[in-house]
Amino acid sequence: MPNANQRKRWELVKLERRSFLLMLALVTVLFLFLLKPFFGAIFWAGIVGLIFSPLNRRFLKLWGPRPNLAALATLVVCLVVGIVPTLFVLASFFQEGAGLYERLQSGDFDLGDRIERIREAFPAVQLLLERFNLDLNSVKDQLSAAALTASQYIAQHAVQFGQGILQFFVNLGVMLYMAFFMLRDGDKLVALLVRALPLGDEREHLLFTKFAEVARATVKGNLVVAAAQGTLGGIIFAVLGIPGALLWGVVMTLLSLIPVVGAFLIWGPVAIYLFAVGQWGQGLVLTVFGAGVIGLIDNVLRPILVGRDTKLPDYIVLLSTLGGFALFGMTGFVVGPLIAALFVAFWGIFMRDFNAPPTARPKLDAAAAREPAADDHG
């Protein structure tokens, strides 16, 4: 039986631990709040570190133990391959959007007239809308207003992009600066997190591995599919003489991040319009190319590049991507599947370790009894 002094000492130790854990949680929350303005930059720095870490290891094998030089060379490749072309495309996108806004304001591009042509070519559309108590004139006005608002938004953000160029490059610099350390010290950071987190080393390694797999597969797979669909969509629009091919190509790239329906939301209505105005050849070419080439890329490449590596069902990928867009904006196409993958991984660990079949429980209990709890730093 412990004496009174031992009980007091245990109570004091408990109070000290609880006080320390409370202060640890408070300081951690304050530190995260301090980093809140740079969450996006830090997140994408981590993604860059994950994606380009194999290239960084190759540089280390080629040049020997020179981690600073290898990380710097990897960042240069990242800039040349990904960031510089993206900045060029975004600048062209804003320029095209500003031009579309000017054409809508001046009346050179009359969306209402084009919708009227569709109504005349397809009377069934009018009947379908009437069945749902929808007025085509009201729909036409709403679509025209939406197009004007969207193009105005792009035009205004083009000005804001120019005005906020300093802030943009500050965030880009923070991301590249953090990516350098992610590449150079990534393994040390993972080891430090494994030591700090109280989940068990084996579980932590499994979760970090799953996180890295899903992040690589989601970013590389979705970006490859989106870039391929947007590029092909922009090319076919340019070949068919459709105005704003670059603008619509970028929009198709962004929408292609949404599985299943992405690029069709652009080329589908355009194909319908081409049929409505009597340009049957162009409409047929766009329909065949859209369904047979652009759509095939989504149906073939996405399951290979994303679904296979994430080991998530297609419907989970779709729902988590849409939910990620709704909650986190453009970053959501990565954050959503990551959360879904961690959800599946955590429940898999729970079923394996805490809710195992009765025949497996004695082995787990025996293993837990042999494990010294005081020495587990994981």
Tell me: the pLDDT tens digits for 284-343?
A: 998 898 888 888 877 777 777 776 666 777 778 778 888 888 888 778 888 888 888 889
Output the pTM of the full model. Answer: 0.66
The pLDDT of residue 33: 92
Q: How long is the chain?
A: 378
The pLDDT of residue 23: 93
Closest CA to 193 of 183, 213, 180, 207: 207
Residue 153 has pLDDT above 70, yes or no: no
The amino acid occupying position 154 is I
Helix, strand, coil percentages (3-state) for the chain, rounded to 5, are: 85, 0, 15
**Residues 325, 332 contacting (CB under 8 angstroms):** yes
Residue 116 has pLDDT above 70, yes or no: no
The listed range with the strongest mean pLDDT (152-161, 214-223, 259-268) is 214-223
| Long-range CB contact pairs, 71-77, < 8 A, 24+ | 71/180, 71/181, 71/183, 71/184, 72/180, 74/183, 75/176, 75/179, 75/180, 75/183, 77/52
Q: pLDDT tens across 156-187, in order?
A: 555 555 555 667 778 888 888 999 999 898 88
Q: What are the phi and psi torsion angles at 217 (to 5°)?
A: -65, -40
Q: What is the largest CA-CA distance in the chain?
A: 96
- Cite the DSSP H helix spans in 107-200: 111-121, 123-131, 136-163, 165-196
- Residue pointed to by tokens 């319009």: 273
Q: pLDDT tens across 29-50, in order?
A: 999 999 888 888 888 898 888 8
Q: Per-domain residue ranges for the chain?
A: 37-196
